[in-house]
Amino acid sequence: MFIGQLPKHVSPRKLAYQNAKLEGELAVASCPRLKDILVDDRASLQVTLKFDVDHQRRAVVQCEMQGTLLMVCQRCLDVAEIQFAACVNMAVVRNEEQARNLPADLDPLFVVEDESVELMPLLEQEVLLGLPAFAYHENETCHSGQEAYSTLPEGGAEELDVEDVQRPNPFSVLAGLKTGE
């Protein structure tokens, strides 16, 4: 097991046959595409990489990442803390045919001739895929000034009675103009 700064390059097949485990931090400052999406680039994610060989003799990598990232809330445009957690299982493949034959729970990790993979861009890509498209605070903590975003009664849809719903007529303003009010 290796704990500390993650290496720049890894050989996933070699590490899989050694049943290696790497733990370290992914600094947002070292990820140019991720840095553009976040409010602050001083954050970091805890990363655990477990290399193994599965029952079909495939080199597999289990990648777990977690941490807190700061994004812009799309309701109030204030900073929202996003608790990020992702677990990705990958199998080392050399071509498209091997990738197509993988089970649904494994993502392909393409490795070609030199058997080495640049680790930081791979991890950055997985974080980008795992982030929400739009960040929001919870309704109770959002600074947008709106109390709630639901038009349902407090008990939910079960308590909604069609006769009780009183909706304003959208043309009532026009009726007021017509009568001169």
Summarize pLDDT for 68-103 with one digit per residue, the tens: 999 998 888 888 888 999 999 999 998 899 899 999
Calculate what percentage of the chain has a pLDDT beyond 90: 45
Over residues 44-70, the mean pLDDT reads 94
- CA dist 80 → 25, 38, 142 (Å): 22, 10, 9
As a whole number of angstroms, the distance between CA 69 and CA 167 comes to 41
pTM: 0.71
What's the rounded mean pLDDT across residues 118-140?
Answer: 87
pLDDT in tens, 156-180: 555 555 555 677 777 777 777 776 6
Q: Would you state the pLDDT for residue 115? A: 79
Tokens of 10: 């890894």
Question: In the prediction, which pLDDT does 143 show?
Answer: 66
